[in-house]
Structure 1
Amino acid sequence: MTNRICAAFCASYSYFATEYSTECYCGNVLNANSLPVTDKRCNMPCKANATEICGGPNGLTLFKLDLSASSSLSLSSTLSVVFGQQLSLIVSLQLSLIVDQQLYVVIC
């Protein structure tokens, strides 16, 4: 799993997230009971690309998909935790960008 693979799999959803270095989640709505996570739990390298972070124990690397009129894929990232099977939004934003059709994610 990588963030790019998960993004492609979840292309028809508003959000996608990776967890435990191999798991991918898709969704259109975030849990309204979101709580901030400050313990840096998203620390697991992606199984298929160790230079990327794919969540961690009970922590998701969460992205919002934004398809613009020019058909280019734009992503914004936050960190999140799972309560049951729902995604929970975390307040700290992170930077993601696409340069030369390559996805780059800056994880704090």
Structure 2
Amino acid sequence: MKPHQVLFLVAPLGHLAAAADDDNGSQPQQVQVYTDDTHKYTYHGCYNETTLAEGSAGTRALAGGSSDVQPDTMTVPACLAFCQSGDTKYRYAGVEWSRECWCAENIAGIAQKLDDKECNFPCAGNKTQACGGQLKLNVYRMSSAPRNLLAHGVGAAMTLLIIYMGVLF
């Protein structure tokens, strides 16, 4: 056998061995949808990025707000905090491509909700958290109101009613 023929036989066997190793237990780590313990945001779903969608004119699913890119440190909590910082508290926050954070007041009407399995890229800063995918976003929506705010609202309304009743009688 000539030397160059041996190389052709050995190289494919090396690829087969590597593929067999991948199938025998080295599964990719599963990512999880993040749950916000502060209850400021709730998970809204996995959505397609609309920049390439027909009729979008290149507009993003979360357009008109702010964005942040952290190539090595992006996490869902970092994105949620970014969208809550400053004077504007954006209604929607989304993570995409493992490292991008997008904030907006609305989600584009042409954005389509996808199966959560479509948003399977791990966050750059926490490999267990789901951070969107290629042209896909894990979207979080600001909660309507903190739970104890409703109780304060009822208490304030009762106080006003009592004062009003006192003025009438």
Which structure: greater helix fraction? 2
Deviation at 1:65, TM superposition (A): 1.3
Structure with more strand by fraction: 1
The amino acid across from 1:29 in the alignment is: N
Superposition map of 1:1-108 within 5 A: 1-11=74-84, 12-38=89-115, 40-66=117-143, 67-68=145-146, 70=148
Once the two structures are TM-superposed, the CA of residue 21 in structure 1 deviates from its matched residue by 0.4
Q: Residue type of the partner of 2:146? A: S
Letter of the structure 1 residue corresponding to residue 79 of structure 2: C
Per the normalisation by structure 1, the TM-score is 0.59
TM-score (norm 2): 0.39
| Contiguous gaps of at least 5 residues in structure 1 | 72-108
For the aligned residue pairs, the C-alpha RMSD in angstroms reads: 1.9
Equivalents in 2 of 1:19, 1:50: separation in Å? 14
Identity rate of aligned residues, in percent?
A: 35
Q: If you compute each CA radius of gyration, which structure gives the higher value, 1 or 2?
A: 2
**Pairs aligned (count):** 71
Q: Which runs of 4+ in 1 moved over 4 A?
A: none
Decide whether the 8 Å contact of 1:41 with 1:58 is kept in 2: no
